Amino acid sequence: MDFWSQFPAKDELLAWYKSNGSNAVFSVNAHLHTPYSFSAFRDIPQALDMGVAEGVKVMGINDFYSTDGYAEWETEAAARGIFPLFNIEYISLNKADQIAGLKVNDPGNPGRTYLSGKGLSFPPKMDEPFASALASVRSESNQHVAGMCSKLNQLLVSLNAGFLLDFDYIRSSMTKGMVRERHLAKALREVVAKQFASGEAQSAFYQKLFGGKPLVSSPDAPAAIENELRNNLLKAGGAAFIPEPTAAFLDSNMVCKMILNQGGIPTYPFLADDSNGNFTPFEGSKEQAAKTLKERNIWSIELITTRNSLKVLEEYVQYFHKEGFVVTLGSEHNTPVMEPIELFARKKTELSPVLKEINYRGACLVAAHQYLNATEGQGYLDQNGKPFLDRHDQLVTLGMALITYLNHTNHA
């Protein structure tokens, strides 16, 4: 069954909601990576089952460079009464910012800019020349990781490790087609655990791998070990590090056009404050960041809440909400560390009611945008990507109706 066909026509749906709706603010996690890129989750059902157990009613898939998981996400989410958001993430390059030395939302690389697309068309679509451009970037990304795998194998040979990593096996057994450096770290940790029975032997081998630097993590802390492998071997200065080629990044403006072609809302993911209270130069002034984003026709932002203090989250979320931006929040889950689906600020601080409400309103607008694109051919943005700001509240109400209706029919 087509996902959108289960909902009544818009006017009927809104009438139903007027009689059956409430002022409830549902729990939302709008940014989750799955095994279709790299994820803490074993599979999509695990992520959604965790969401059900924690009372989360809206969840958004948000993989790197991929919409391949959309069909499974829709089927499994709807079966659980969870409203699915269809999102994507790209790593782009703004050449003007790079030349200016401006660090945007990658604190180590000037000009490199992560961008998300929220509320893409479902079923997914993409026209040329965007489809070929995306295929090229996906291929370049896999080739880059394959090169790092080769360098890891050279290191293993030099240490007489007695084993090598098989890139093709990693791609076929651990991924859905997109190989990330985190897959290499996971594969290496797993094979070390098989080769060396004791924790002491594993730690001794890791010390050799790290050029004499001891393993900090406990041998029975797999996520921490994988992070150490990544940081010591696959990042700048590591024995298997290879700089990403320019061809692995699309121009930022091109990415925004690609997201629009996919039916989505271009979205800027904020890093905001790090654990020391520092911001990137692009983000340090929220006023200037808002001005620049508007000039770039980006009217949606998101934050990964576990990165940030509650104070900064409230400051940035409320400011951008008042400035007319769609604001959503998520957890990513794109590391080996398993965290709750329910959102928290840094140090597991509970989100305030205002954060929960703005996040829910943002998710409702994205839900309505998806629905209207599918049923009427146009959602929150016009053909040039400009938002219909005067329709913002109407779309939020429509999204509330959609989310409530799915939840109601699932439990009827």
CATH domain 9-15+26-125+262-400 topology: TIM Barrel (3.20.20)
Predicted local confidence at residue 1, as pLDDT: 53
pLDDT tens for 222-269 read 999 999 999 999 998 999 999 988 777 899 999 999 999 999 999 999
The residue ranges of the chain whose pLDDT is under 70 are: 1, 411-412
Residue 411, pLDDT score: 59
Phi, psi dihedrals of residue 267, rounded to the nearest 5°: -135, 135
- From-to residues of CATH 3.20.20.140 in the chain: 9-15+26-125+262-400
| 8 A C-beta contact, residue 181 and residue 233 | no
With contact defined as beta carbons under 8 Å apart, do 119 and 366 qualify? yes
Compute the radius of gyration of the chain from its Cα atoms.
Answer: 22
pLDDT at 246: 78
CB 319 within 8 A of CB 357: no
230 is written with which tokens? 């990544």
Query: Are 383 and 346 contacting, i.e. CB atoms less than 8 angstroms apart?
Result: no
pLDDT in tens, 80-110: 999 999 999 999 999 999 999 999 999 989 9
Q: What is the pLDDT of residue 247?
A: 75
